[in-house]
């Protein structure tokens, strides 16, 4: 039962990261840190072996390198790069690959949706009120935390992580 609660907390934290990113274009370090620090507790609850745990750590480290490579040219934000690593740590091998692929697809869908919504909002409304501080504003960055959370939620049902949590 503890493993299921750990997984539920992971889902909650990913959803919170998406909401926070949509509202402020930031994913705080404490939130990424909480996802990472919860993982060892979850690994114990899941009954992971040391080898499995080590593989998850290696996948998380590799995802951090990938995230920093995407951050360096400005393609994603620093919080997004850390969230990629934090979520990949949970998914491990080979599910992290599916998480990354599905997150990329969701990022494309997010970009299309934002472009469509930005065209629907009249330009006169962009300088005043709440629209100027949202992803709907022209030139605003895409809150990629939404795509990462969606990718995680899409990956979760077929993942080893869920199998471990359900025992």
pLDDT digits (tens, 9 = 90+) for 103-146: 999 999 998 988 888 777 665 555 555 444 666 666 677 889 99
The crossing angle, in degrees rounded to 10, of helices 50-71 and 29-46 is 160
According to the model, what pLDDT value does residue 161 have? Answer: 84
Which parts of the chain are beta strand (E)?
none
- Rounded Cα distance between 12 and 5, Å, is 10
pLDDT of the residue at 153: 97
Q: What stretches in the chain show pLDDT beneath 50? A: 130-132
Cα distance between residue 2 and residue 24, in whole Å: 32
What is the structure's pLDDT at 3? 83
Q: SS3 breakdown of the chain: % helix, strand, coil, rounded to 5?
A: 80, 0, 20
Q: What is the pLDDT of residue 150?
A: 97
Residues 43/53, Cβ–Cβ less than 8 Å:
yes
What is the pLDDT, as a whole number, of residue 138? 67
Q: Distance from CA of residue 80 to its chain's centroid?
A: 7
């Amino acid at each position: 039962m503890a493993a299921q609660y750990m997984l539920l907390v992971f889902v909650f934290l990913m959803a919170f990261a998406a909401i926070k990113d949509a509202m402020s274009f930031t994913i705080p370090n404490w939130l990424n840190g909480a996802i990472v620090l919860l993982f060892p507790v979850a690994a114990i609850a899941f009954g992971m072996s040391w080898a499995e745990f080590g593989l998850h750590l290696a996948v998380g480290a590799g995802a951090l390198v990938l995230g920093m490579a995407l951050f360096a040219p400005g393609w994603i934000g620093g919080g997004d790069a850390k969230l990629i690593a934090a979520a990949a740590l949970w998914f491990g091998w080979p599910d992290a690959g599916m998480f990354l692929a599905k997150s990329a697809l969701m990022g494309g869908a997010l970009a299309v949706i934002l472009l469509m919504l930005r065209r629907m909002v009249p330009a006169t409304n962009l300088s005043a009120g709440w629209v100027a501080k949202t992803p709907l504003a022209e030139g605003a960055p895409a809150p990629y935390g939404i795509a990462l959370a969606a990718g995680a939620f899409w990956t979760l049902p077929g993942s080893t992580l869920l199998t471990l949590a359900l025992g």
